[in-house]
Amino acid sequence: MATPAALPPLPFNPSRVRSYLVRLPLFTRLVLLVILAFWLLELQTMWSVVQWGALIPDEINLGTSTSSPQLTTYCLGLDLDLGSLTDWRNLVYRLNTYPLIHTGFFHALLNALALTPLLERFEAEHGTLTAIALFVGPLSTFPAAIYLLIEKVILHSNTSVVGSSIWVFLLLGSEAIRTYKSNPHFSIGFYGISADHFISLGPYKIPTWTSPLFACVVLSILVSNVSFLGHLCAILIGYLFGLGYLKFLVPPEKILRWIEGKLNLLGRLPHYISVDQKTFGRYGVLPSSNNAANGNNGTPMSFLGTNQRLGA
């Protein structure tokens, strides 16, 4: 009697995927949970989560609002209107909510798949508290501020931005700079046809730091509604972070250790990465971590993002 044919192997190993998910650090888990929560909220029809939390230039009217109370200041004899308290609250929460909100299930899923390995590696290398301080802060607000400046002041447009692809391209930019320090170029060769045989064209040496820019361009060509400008702003901040120009934003380890010891975070919070557990901790980079620290693992190139035009 013939035995039934064996089932084809799965494209991934479920046990390895489960083991990877179980090892995810705390902040990465929280980000994924918040992305899921916002997507579930979007299923209701009473109010639009995207409209509420997206980065929409026309929804930010600092200095142009007539509502009260107003924030005013006097500088060199000039009466400067800084906008209302409502305008400032609107700005502050939108600068931090837009990377966590997505326009649909597949948008949220693909962005989460692209973000998870990058954010998990960042948290492992810098610690949980540092990751929280940077991503709930300058690594979200700086790309948004540059985007608003260009979109609202220079282009006079109202293209909204949502999605964690901003973080994806920011981390890709940082990884590309680190890869460039250890592997400045990658070579690409082409083959052409002469009269009777193949001829080699190249190889051409391309700087590795340009890889996020290529990814940004390709994604913009393949997907029509992505935020090309938003991704460029994120890559710029990622480059600055990778080059060390934003190092002053990282909280001092002395303060972090004091907070961790005072609150006993390592003992109370599962999957928490302390200052001394991170890759670049008190005792430096371990020999087994040198390859990863020098960027020899390459630059992850999973990416996806979107934007939409609201109120235009």
Task: Give 3-state DSSP helix, strand, coil % of the chain, rounded to 5.
Answer: 55, 15, 30
Assign residue 255 a region (left: φ > 0; alpha: ψ between -120 and 50; beta: otherwise): alpha
**CA 283 and chain centroid, separation:** 28
107: nearest Cα among 227, 237, 25, 233:
227
**Of the candidates 302, 274, 265, which has an alpha carbon nearest to the alpha carbon of residue 109?**
302
Both tokens assigned to 158:
């109202």
**Cα–Cα distance, 258 to 247 (Å, whole number):** 20
Q: Residue 193 corresponds to which tokens in the numbers above?
A: 């046809």
Cβ pair 305, 219 in contact under 8 A: yes
165 labelled catalytic: yes
Task: Exactly one of 165, 174, 211, 227 is catalytic; name it.
Answer: 165
What would the two tokens of residue 55 be? 């980065």
Report the candidate in 205, 174, 183, 185 with the shortest Cα–Cα distance to residue 300: 174
Identity of residue 196: D
Catalytic residue among 84, 164, 231, 274: 231
The answer to whether residue 231 is catalytic is: yes
Which active-site residues does the annotation give? 165, 231
